[in-house]
Structure 1
Amino acid sequence: MKQQLVEICLRVRDLEATLDFYTDLFDFEVASRREFPENKFDLVYLNSPGSSVQIELTYNYDAEPYNVGDGFSHLGVTVGDLEKMHEICKASSYETGELRGLSGGTPTYFFVTDPDGYRIEVKRAK
């Protein structure tokens, strides 16, 4: 049976700050937004151009702060110009790691952290 990954859900504390991160820093676009005030939550679906996988941002109105946990590691995105994106992220208010390469090799990635503590691995597109 064939399967296809279609979405990844992230629970967020500050929906607007998280939207700014994914739409301003990266080129994600809001695909849809649904508000459920009677159930005290909102859903926002983000598309990344060139990908069929969406990120579902779930904002629960009365939730306690979330723990990212030690089982989850990161999401990954690719960019055409790694060094330029690294400079953009470093100039932002978001925690940005240094450029790295596997086993000390040529730099091919870095990490940036979103407002909720989720790490995004930014990789050089192949």
Structure 2
Amino acid sequence: MKFVFNHYNYNVLDLEKSMAFYEAALGLKEVRRKEAPDGSWKLVYLGDGVTDFQLELTWLRDRKEPYNLGENEFHLAFTVADYDAAHEKHKEMGCICFENPEMGIYFINDPDNYWLEIVPEKK
């Protein structure tokens, strides 16, 4: 029996704002969506166009307060070929929340404060 990664979920307060962020910051685009018949929830799956892995954004109509992310010790990681250009883009967007120059990585945060690690592609 073999298990394969499929998707990871983040719950978000403003679905459109989150989708715009993920496209602008990381190039992720909607690949599919599910919606409740009564409009109480939406699931939007974002993909990178390269791998099969997807990020599921869950929006709940009745949720108004921010999600408790604890100490935010969990995250998704993305590799990028042009690390310096990515860093400059995220700096301009104002979304870099932590840098670790010794490790050669940095983190950005999305509109709901989920952290996303940016790692240079290994050559």
TM-score normalised per structure 1: 0.87
Shift, 1:65, TM fit: 1.9
| % identical equivalent positions | 34
Distance 1:30 1:47 in 2: 6
Residue of structure 2 in register with 1:110 after alignment: 106
SS of residue paired to 2:98:
coil
Structure 2 runs not aligned, ≥5 long = none
Separation (CA, whole Å) in 1 of partners of 2:72 and 2:87: 26
Give the C-alpha shift of residue 87 in structure 1.
0.4
Q: Is the 8 A contact 2:18 2:111 kept in 1?
A: yes
Moved over 4 A (4+): none
> Equivalent residue for 1:89?
90
Q: Secondary structure at the match of 1:98?
A: strand
Q: CA RMSD in A?
A: 1.7
- Structure 1: which 5+ runs fail to align? none
Q: Which has the higher strand share?
A: 2
Aligned length: 121
Contact 1:90–1:96 (Cα < 8 Å) also in 2: no
**How far did 1:51 drift?**
1.5
Residue 36 of structure 1 corresponds to which residue in structure 2?
A: 36
